[in-house]
């Protein structure tokens, strides 16, 4: 069995997006691809030189074949479970205006939502250095939630670190319903990522500092606040490290958070300190915004080096 430094699991969907600004009602052409938070991170990590494995259910259909092929094509070890009783999910993106993106999901009852604990291969998590999960998968179904919990349990028992990106999706559950589910998972992770509004879902009424303190008390070592163009901060218990973002001309922000996570985790696994990890994460997130698509602009190490060299003259803010 092939081992990987990072293993991750979740639903990846076929993706259709408009190629021009305007409503789907009047779109003349569409582009086709795939997208999913966990596979976006897996691809981002693989491009940065980290051995990575992704697991998910897909329909026994053409879309499922494309999903597996695309992820495998970027060097990710793909563990696909073909589901002959459900179709692969679909995501549709449109740009109603030059500065906005709308995402529509057609995933109810999809193959990806039918993930279950016995889909996890024996030894797969135990052989890894890190398990990465998000708050999307546990909100898809009861069995998907049980799978994420089982994965974390196995990781903790084996001494495998756990990374958790809150990644709240209001289309899947209300904030009130999602709060206890996401909080439970976050409090069992070693590294937690999220935006300010997402940490507020974990702990309603708490400040960011209070939310970080509560996660530290639960055993989380690092809490990373993603602030988009304003950069990011890492709460380490006794200190806070802040890193500025990069000034860029944004094309598409979807997938930027996943690229950020891949950048941070790759740097962390490479032994970088927190400040350098945040800088790489911010650069990866910024680069993901330069091209349409969920993962297409995720950088390689060479891409990243070129971007950071160009940014040496203060384009940061």
For the record, the structure tokens of 162 come out as: 């756990």
**67: alpha, beta or left, given left = phi > 0 and alpha = psi -120 to 50?**
alpha
Distance between CA 11 and CA 168 in Å, rounded? Answer: 14
Cα–Cα distances in Å, from 71 out to 117, 167, 281? Answer: 22, 20, 21
Place of tokens 């057609």: 106
Phi, then psi, of 172 in degrees rounded to 5: -95, -30
Identify the bridge partners of residue 25 per DSSP, sorted by sequence position: none
For the record, the structure tokens of 74 come out as: 């970027």
Distance between CA 277 and CA 232 in Å, rounded? Answer: 10
Helix axes of 256-269 and 274-288: crossing angle, nearest 10 degrees: 150
Closest residue by Cα to residue 50 from 307, 301, 304, 305: 301
Q: Where is 299: in which H helix or E strand?
A: none
Judge whether 309 counts as a catalytic residue.
no
DSSP 112: G
The order of strands in the sheet holding 100-106 is: 30-35, 13-18, 90-97, 100-106
- Which residue in 217, 258, 309, 310 is the catalytic one? 258
Distance between CA 3 and CA 123 in Å, rounded? Answer: 9
Distance between CA 40 and CA 298 in Å, rounded? Answer: 8
How many CB atoms sit inside 10 A of residue 202's CB?
A: 25
Phi, then psi, of 68 in degrees rounded to 5: -65, -45
Place of tokens 């976006």: 40
Question: Which residues participate in catalysis according to the annotation?
Answer: 258
């Amino acid at each position: 069995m092939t081992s990987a430094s990072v293993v991750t699991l979740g639903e990846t969907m076929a993706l259709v997006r408009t190629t021009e600004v305007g409503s789907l009602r009047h779109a003349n052409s569409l582009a086709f691809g795939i997208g999913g938070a966990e596979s976006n991170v897996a691809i981002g990590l693989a491009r940065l030189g980290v051995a990575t494995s992704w697991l998910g259910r897909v329909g026994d259909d053409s879309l499922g074949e494309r999903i597996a092929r695309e992820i495998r094509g970027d060097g990710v070890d793909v563990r696909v479970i073909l589901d002959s009783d459900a179709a692969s999910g679909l995501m549709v993106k449109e740009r109603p205006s030059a500065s906005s993106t709308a995402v529509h999901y057609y995933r109810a009852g999809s193959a990806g939502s039918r993930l279950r604990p016995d889909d996890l291969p024996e030894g797969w998590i135990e052989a890894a250095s890190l398990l990465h999960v998000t708050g999307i998968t546990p909100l898809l179904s009861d069995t998907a939630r049980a799978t994420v919990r089982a994965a974390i349990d196995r990781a903790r028992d084996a001494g495998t670190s756990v990374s958790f990106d809150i990644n709240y999706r209001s289309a899947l559950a209300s904030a009130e319903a999602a709060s206890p589910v996401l909080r439970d998972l976050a409090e069992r992770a070693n590294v937690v990522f999220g935006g300010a509004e997402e940490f507020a879902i974990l702990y309603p009424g708490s400040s960011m500092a209070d939310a970080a303190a509560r996660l530290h008390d639960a055993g989380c070592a690092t809490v990373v606040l993603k602030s988009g163009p304003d950069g990011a901060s890492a709460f380490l218990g006794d200190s806070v490290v802040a890193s500025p973002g990069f000034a860029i001309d944004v094309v598409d922000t979807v997938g930027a958070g996943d690229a950020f996570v891949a950048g941070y985790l790759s740097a962390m696994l490479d032994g970088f300190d927190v400040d350098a990890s945040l800088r790489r994460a911010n650069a990866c997130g910024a680069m993901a915004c330069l091209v349409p698509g969920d993962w297409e602009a995720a950088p390689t190490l060479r891409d990243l080096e070129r971007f950071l060299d160009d940014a040496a003259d203060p384009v940061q803010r």
